[in-house]
Amino acid sequence: MMSFKIGFGAEEDREEGKAPETTLAQTVQTPIRKSVVNVHFPDRHQTYTYYNDMFDLNRGDIVYVDGQLEGFRGLVVEVNYNFKIRLSDYKRVIGVADTNVAGRFHMAGSYIVTDDETALKYDQVVTWFKAPKTQEEEYVSSGGDEVFNLNDLSSMKAKSAIVERGYQYYTEDRVVYIELSHGKGRALVTGGETYDVEFFYDQEEIRNLVCSCYCCGICKHEFATMLQLKDILAAVKKEYPLIEHNHYLSAVSKSTFFEFAIDNKTKGIFAIQ
């Protein structure tokens, strides 16, 4: 059993010998600093230059842009503040991932979990994978009336091909994030793109299960999410019985946590116990 605190971007406690408090997880608002930035897109092996007038960007920031590469995740590799450009020649940076994480976390198998509602919210983690929605986008969903028990996934009545593909996604750790918040469940599942899975959870009962892949009936992303949720809750119940997951619980795969919250950071605080 292991838990740890982590904090980035907070002031260090300068009292010698005293462990810093790192439970606060608020993003500090910084002033906008206009810049021209070079952005590398790993999925396309390409680097392009963009104008930024919305954020204070630094090397290593994960950003989203408009234009032909809209929706692709990019990495800022160079920032220039001294420039004079014609705006019509440049596309813009339209979003930046919030990778500042602070709070108390617990190990649960291949996942990191927390019951701190401020530490790792869906609205933050989704920025690691998806560009911000445009004003023109409008979504509507309906989960139907199907209800099943998490401990009996055969009651989902998923097709055998869906079960097989969903199990493969589960074993490949493609369910990168799950959140249970006061009965509402959300998950992020990576595939050809990152998909949103939503559902309601109450004492092992699942209802209104939907996925943004728009598949009719149960899809592989939903089945993989249920397998992963079952595993995470079992691990939490065994190792951390004091965590009340019906109130709040979020879980992120270790590889995702370290890729986005750790790898690009150059300063911060760990406190492992």
Encoded amino acid at 27, one letter: T
d(CA 44, CA 89): 21
**Cβ within 8 Å of residue 223, ≥6 positions away:** 153, 156, 158, 162, 163, 165, 166, 167, 169, 170
pTM recorded for the entire structure: 0.84
Cα–Cα nearest to 33, from 67, 77, 79: 79
| Pairing verdict, β 74-80 and 62-65 | antiparallel
pLDDT by position in tens, the chain (length 273): 556 566 554 333 333 333 333 332 334 456 899 999 999 999 899 999 999 999 999 999 999 999 999 989 999 999 999 999 999 999 999 999 999 998 889 998 899 999 999 999 999 999 999 988 765 556 655 555 689 999 999 989 899 999 999 999 999 999 999 999 999 999 999 988 999 999 999 988 999 999 999 777 899 999 999 999 999 999 999 988 877 666 899 999 999 999 998 887 777 777 666
